A = this chain, B = another copy of it.
Amino acid sequence: MKNEINIGLLGYGVVGSGVATILHNHQEDLRHKLGVPVSIKKVVVKDLEKKRNGVISKEMFTTSLDEVLNDPEIDLVVEVMGGTSAAQEAIRRSLEAGKGVVTANKDVMAESGPELLKLADENKCDLLYEASVGGGIPLIRTLEDGLASDRITALTGIVNGTTNFILTKMKHENKTYEDALAEATELGFAEADPSADVDGIDAARKMVILASLSFSTEVRLDDVFVRGMKEIKDGDLQLAEQFGYTIKMAGSARKDEEGIEVAVEPVFFPNSHPLATVNNEFNAVYVYGDAVGETMFYGPGAGSMPTATSVTGDVVAACRNLLLGVNGKRLHAPQYERKVKSDDQKYARYFHRITVRDEVGVLTELTSIYSHHKASLATVVQDSELHEEGADLIFITHKISRQQHLDILQDLKDTPTVIDISSHYRVEGE
Q: Measuring CB to CB, which residues of chain A are less than 8 angstroms from any residue of chain B?
A: 1, 22, 25-26, 29-30, 32-35, 136-138, 142, 145-146, 148-150, 271-274, 276-279, 282, 284, 291-300, 303, 305-306, 308-309, 312-313, 316, 320, 323-326, 329-331
Complex contacts, A329 vs chain B, CB 8 Å = 32-33, 35
Complex contacts, A308 vs chain B, CB 8 Å = 149, 291
Q: Choose among B29, B298, B330 the residue that contacts A295 (Cβ–Cβ < 8 A).
A: B298
Q: Choose among B272, B282, B325 the residue that contacts A277 (Cβ–Cβ < 8 A).
A: B272
Complex contacts, A299 vs chain B, CB 8 Å = 292-296
8 other contacts beyond A30-B148, A291-B309, with CB at 8 A cut-off? A33-B148, A35-B325, A138-B142, A274-B274, A284-B296, A292-B309, A294-B298, A324-B324
Q: Choose among B150, B298, B306 the residue that contacts A298 (Cβ–Cβ < 8 A).
A: B298
Cβ of A227 to closest chain B Cβ, rounded Å: 25
Please report the C-alpha to C-alpha distance between residue A283 and residue B74 in the assembled complex, in whole angstroms: 43
Please report the C-alpha to C-alpha distance between residue A271 and residue B294 in the assembled complex, in whole angstroms: 21
Provided the pairs A277-B277, A298-B298, A329-B33 are in contact, do residues A291 and B305 lie with their beta carbons within 8 angstroms? yes
Complex contacts, A136 vs chain B, CB 8 Å = 291-293, 295
B29 to A331, Cβ gap below 8 A?
Answer: yes
21 A-B pairs whose Cβ atoms sit less than 8 Å apart in the complex: A22-B291, A30-B148, A32-B329, A33-B148, A33-B326, A35-B326, A136-B293, A145-B313, A149-B313, A150-B309, A274-B274, A274-B277, A274-B278, A274-B298, A276-B277, A284-B296, A291-B306, A292-B309, A293-B299, A293-B300, A295-B298
Provided the pairs A35-B324, A320-B320, A324-B34 are in contact, do residues A29 and B293 lie with their beta carbons within 8 angstroms? no
Cβ of A246 to closest chain B Cβ, rounded Å: 10
B296 to A298, Cβ gap below 8 A?
Answer: yes
Please report the C-alpha to C-alpha distance between residue A25 and residue B142 in the assembled complex, in whole angstroms: 19
Cβ of A112 to closest chain B Cβ, rounded Å: 24
A26 to B295, Cβ gap below 8 A?
Answer: no
Please report the C-alpha to C-alpha distance between residue A330 and residue B293 in the assembled complex, in whole angstroms: 30
Complex contacts, A305 vs chain B, CB 8 Å = 291-292
Complex contacts, A150 vs chain B, CB 8 Å = 309
Complex contacts, A146 vs chain B, CB 8 Å = 309
Complex contacts, A32 vs chain B, CB 8 Å = 326, 329-331
Provided the pairs A35-B326, A138-B145, A316-B148 are in contact, do residues A300 and B294 lie with their beta carbons within 8 angstroms? yes
A293 to B298, Cβ gap below 8 A?
Answer: no
A26 to B149, Cβ gap below 8 A?
Answer: yes
B26 to A148, Cβ gap below 8 A?
Answer: yes
Please report the C-alpha to C-alpha distance between residue A145 and residue B313 in the assembled complex, in whole angstroms: 7
Complex contacts, A303 vs chain B, CB 8 Å = 293
Complex contacts, A323 vs chain B, CB 8 Å = 324
The 10 closest A-B pairs by CB, nearest first: A295-B299, A296-B298, A291-B305, A136-B292, A35-B326, A22-B149, A293-B300, A292-B306, A32-B329, A274-B277
Cβ of A205 to closest chain B Cβ, rounded Å: 22
Complex contacts, A279 vs chain B, CB 8 Å = 272
